[in-house]
Structure 1
Amino acid sequence: MAVSTAKAPSIPNGVIGANPENLKAPKVSYGVPTENIGTKRKIICFSDFDGTIFMQDTGHVLFDAHGCGAERRELLEQQIKSGERSFKDVSEEMWGSLKVPFDDGFDVMKQTLEIDRDFKQFHEFCINNDIPFNVISAGLKPVLRRVLDQFLGETLSSQIDIVANDAQISEDGSEWKPIWRHESELGHDKALSIAEYRDAASLESEDGTIPMIVFIGDGLSDLPAARHADVLFARKGLRLEEYCIEHKIAYIPFETFADIQREITKIMKKDEEKTHGKGMPTNYNPRANLWRRISSKNQIPKYIAQTPKEDRMFLWPETFSELKQMEALHAQ
């Protein structure tokens, strides 16, 4: 799966596509202009999905309604946190508990999911300013794509790249099986990741400028990304913001994507005044070179190799589980 860095075609200001009926899509406010602001710096956005673009977790909605149920799901999540079971093992049980056709399962998501009320406007802003927008998620790509298709329309949805696990879903809904990005026991081949990092040498985008990396998130799975972005946005009052405060990491709080759009506009204009799009971005963070290398090569971001050990449990709980199991064996 490739990470998008290509330019997207502009769309008329205010045209964001019609919503299908019965979808929980709060009315969009148009208080922030979405037209092209004419800056030269390449901006690349990476964003979490569940809890960031949408207020609910897509997997939780499905498991609670058509699978193992909320009580069992919460128990399984505790097993991951304690290290009793791996992320991959637990995830396969939760997805495997679903016994519902894909279309029928999506009915409950249409009734339950709520999109950030200003995301559509922000997406329009990204399109008009040639800002690639990439979703990074531990969920299933077919589910996330279907959600975006329904809430944004297929045309606008197609301009968002999704980096997530694929899935095999039988027609009758009797089998939901994640297809992991790697076929190792943990679903992640560290040696392959390191090799890919070695191959990713360039920090520059195709036109020779150094892109500014923006990451948007809300919770535990986004913690390592907090250290690997030039500009970090954390949803107010949630775990990512708490982590940034605890570890003195620079971040910008947001309540809706309108806040993000305003701040990015300010940052783009400031960078244009100071650099005219040349050299290092004004908000340059050396750790963000990881994302720059990935985006310049259109590779899937697998940054466990450069994630501090204390952060790995949050983005890579399967690895944390493995370490906990090893510690238990040594203690015997």
Structure 2
Amino acid sequence: MPIAITPPAVSEVKSLGDAKTQSASKRKIICFSDFDGTIFMQDTGHVLFDNHGCGSKRREALDEQIKTGERSFRDVSEEMWGSLNVPFEDGFEVMEKSLEIDPDFQNFHKYCIANNIPFNVISAGLKPILRRVLDTFLGEEESSHIEIVANEAQISEDGSQWKPIWRHDTELGHDKALSVQEARKEAELACDDGSIPLIVFIGDGVSDLPAAREADVLFARRGLRLEEYCVEHKISYIPFDTFADIRREIEKIKEEDDKKTGGKGVPARFNPRANMWRRVSSRNAVPRYVVMSPTKEEKMFLWPEAFTELKTPAIEISEAPLMPVQEVQA
């Protein structure tokens, strides 16, 4: 979702070296993941809107306004969140009953902790909600290892007012692509020790593309919009059904990289556009965010099943690959 206040500190993104590595791999690996539809099967906002807000029919009508370009994502989102009239705790009860976590996510995250692989959530949702969901499903100690880059929120005690605090003052609010562009300008390709980390992104919808295109390795949940888009536009990706698939593939990638590079220099699978993620993972990095006008491609951030420009019903999307040329895996 959209955003518009003071830029986040670097501490929002997990730095390397917090835990003792148990991995034989010399290459540092950093994971970034979407939340709704990726770690959890349902959308946290939709659960709230349908049960304590505008209702499913109105939400679907509002979704359509985004798709047609009649209204901006930020404008529609503010109406959706503004329709809620429920205290946070009561709203969380329905989420706890409705949400389903990927069956293998917790084991995957424990694997990340054990192997000193920072795992970060980048989301269009509201940070207080996402943190509470992770605390509940994983436990607060394990959840504390996950950094969340998402919108803040103002929620009144009686639940009569839910107001997103947008990260950027644009039509999108939280414009992932905007953040990527600005941070990449000051990117330092190397980590603190001079090595270059491998950047992994995990997602499910077209809205993940602005961030996904910055990764060395992209995982797309099988059968959903991100995979369809990757196939259509010949973007290299690895399909997954559960996070167990991702763990197996990362092990293979680590072995490949160790064999070809010994963990030195450029990763065997390398995307030179991934500078933003390399930089924000650096302990010394201080990214700056500047409001800009996002491109058409970047506006794919809007909605998992939609690619819309405000008041522009028809948009052509370039078919040029957005990531390094690798064999597309079906």
TM bucket by the smaller chain?
0.7 to 0.9
The CA distance in 2 between the partners of 1:157 and 1:195, in whole Å, is 28
Matched letter for residue 261 of structure 1: R
- When residues 226 and 302 of structure 1 are mapped into structure 2, their CA distance, relative to the original with a 3 A threshold, is farther
The CA distance in 1 between the partners of 2:172 and 2:244, in whole Å, is 38
The worse-fitting range, judged by mean Cα deviation, of 178-187 and 82-91 is: 178-187
Residue number in structure 2 paired with 1:7? 17
The CA distance in 1 between the partners of 2:188 and 2:107, in whole Å, is 32
Deviation at 1:193, TM superposition (A): 7.4
The answer to which structure has the higher helix fraction is 1
Whether the 8 Å contact between 1:41 and 1:268 is mirrored in structure 2 is: yes
The CA distance in 1 between the partners of 2:178 and 2:22, in whole Å, is 42
- When residues 195 and 225 of structure 1 are mapped into structure 2, their CA distance, relative to the original with a 3 A threshold, is closer
The worse-fitting range, judged by mean Cα deviation, of 200-209 and 86-95 is: 200-209
Residue number in structure 1 paired with 2:65? 79
Structure 2 residue 281 is the aligned partner of structure 1 residue 271: no
Structure 2 residue 246 is the aligned partner of structure 1 residue 236: no
CA shift digits 1:252-282 (9 cap, x unpaired): 1100000000000111121112211110000
- When residues 115 and 191 of structure 1 are mapped into structure 2, their CA distance, relative to the original with a 3 A threshold, is closer
**Cα RMSD, aligned residues only:** 2.8
Deviation at 1:58, TM superposition (A): 0.3
Whether the 8 Å contact between 2:32 and 2:201 is mirrored in structure 1 is: yes
- When residues 95 and 188 of structure 1 are mapped into structure 2, their CA distance, relative to the original with a 3 A threshold, is closer
SS in 1 for 2:167: coil
CA shift digits 1:164-192 (9 cap, x unpaired): 00000011101100001124565369998
- When residues 315 and 195 of structure 1 are mapped into structure 2, their CA distance, relative to the original with a 3 A threshold, is closer
SS in 1 for 2:75: helix
- When residues 193 and 278 of structure 1 are mapped into structure 2, their CA distance, relative to the original with a 3 A threshold, is closer
Structure 2 residue 18 is the aligned partner of structure 1 residue 68: no
Residue number in structure 1 paired with 2:191? 205
- What is the 5 A alignment of 1:1-332? 1=8, 2-9=12-19, 36-184=22-170, 187=173, 196-198=183-185, 200-296=186-282, 298=285, 309-316=295-302, 320-322=308-310, 324=312
The CA distance in 1 between the partners of 2:113 and 2:200, in whole Å, is 15
- When residues 106 and 143 of structure 1 are mapped into structure 2, their CA distance, relative to the original with a 3 A threshold, is same
Residue number in structure 1 paired with 2:326? none
The CA distance in 2 between the partners of 1:299 and 1:266, in whole Å, is 33
Deviation at 1:224, TM superposition (A): 2.9
Whether the 8 Å contact between 2:183 and 2:288 is mirrored in structure 1 is: no
Residue number in structure 2 paired with 1:17? none
Which structure has the greater CA radius of gyration?
A: 1
The CA distance in 1 between the partners of 2:115 and 2:61, in whole Å, is 44
Whether the 8 Å contact between 2:196 and 2:265 is mirrored in structure 1 is: yes
The CA distance in 2 between the partners of 1:45 and 1:242, in whole Å, is 22
Aligned length: 300
Deviation at 1:7, TM superposition (A): 2.8
Deviation at 1:89, TM superposition (A): 0.7
TM-score normalised by L of structure 1: 0.82
TM-score normalised by L of structure 2: 0.83
The CA distance in 2 between the partners of 1:245 and 1:257, in whole Å, is 21
Whether the 8 Å contact between 2:150 and 2:174 is mirrored in structure 1 is: no
- When residues 128 and 192 of structure 1 are mapped into structure 2, their CA distance, relative to the original with a 3 A threshold, is closer
SS in 2 for 1:99: coil
The CA distance in 2 between the partners of 1:268 and 1:306, in whole Å, is 38
Deviation at 1:221, TM superposition (A): 0.9
- When residues 3 and 301 of structure 1 are mapped into structure 2, their CA distance, relative to the original with a 3 A threshold, is farther
Whether the 8 Å contact between 2:25 and 2:263 is mirrored in structure 1 is: yes
The CA distance in 2 between the partners of 1:258 and 1:160, in whole Å, is 18
CA shift digits 1:18-61 (9 cap, x unpaired): xxxxxxxxxxxxxxxxx933111010101000000000000000
Whether the 8 Å contact between 1:3 and 1:298 is mirrored in structure 2 is: no
The CA distance in 2 between the partners of 1:138 and 1:289, in whole Å, is 21
